Structure 1
Amino acid sequence: MKKYLADLKQHSDALFVLGYMLFPLLALVVAVLGFFMVLGGHKIIGVILLFVPTQVFLYAAFWAIKNRKLLLEEK
């Protein structure tokens, strides 16, 4: 896993896709799902979905964007 992440940090295109497309889209989907679960009566699971996985995906997006900027500055 560490080797894969080290290889991923060397490809700015992959970091672009992860940081600007995939992780924000996943965060949005999970947030909408959590919101609908709260509206549907499943408040505990909905709030957990709103906060935990959404924040993880947003943190991962910021991580990918930061590493992409650092990689492009080195080149």
Structure 2
Amino acid sequence: MKESIKALKANPEALFVLGYMLFPLFALVFAGLGLFLIITGSKIVGLILILTITQLFAFGSLKAVGTRKRLLAEQDTGTGR
């Protein structure tokens, strides 16, 4: 399991999919679900979704994009461009 996570962190294409597509989509879905729960009366659960789960996906997206940019910069300097 640890080896596959390390391989995922070293692959810019996988980080692109996570950082620009999946994590923002999940953040949007959970934010919408949290808003729906707040409107329908489940305020505590809705706030938990918005304040924790949505933020985890948003910050995870930023971290994946930053890691991808760092990997691409290392590849560019390593090839002599």
Calculate the TM-score normalised by the size of structure 1. Answer: 0.95
Report matched runs for 1:22-41 at 5 Å. Answer: 22-41=22-41
* Aligned-partner Cα distance in 1 for 2:53–2:4: 22
- Report the count of equivalent residues: 75
Look at both structures and tell me which one has the larger radius of gyration over its CA atoms: 2
- Write the deviation string for residues 9-65 of structure 1: whole angstroms up to 9, x where unpaired: 211110000000000000000000000000000000001011110011011101100
- The equivalent of 1:20 in structure 2 is 20
Identity %: 51
SS in 1 for 2:10: coil
Segments of 5+ residues of structure 1 without an aligned counterpart are none
For the pair 1:45 / 2:45, whether they are aligned, the reply is yes
Calculate the TM-score normalised by the size of structure 2. Answer: 0.88
Q: CA RMSD in A?
A: 0.8
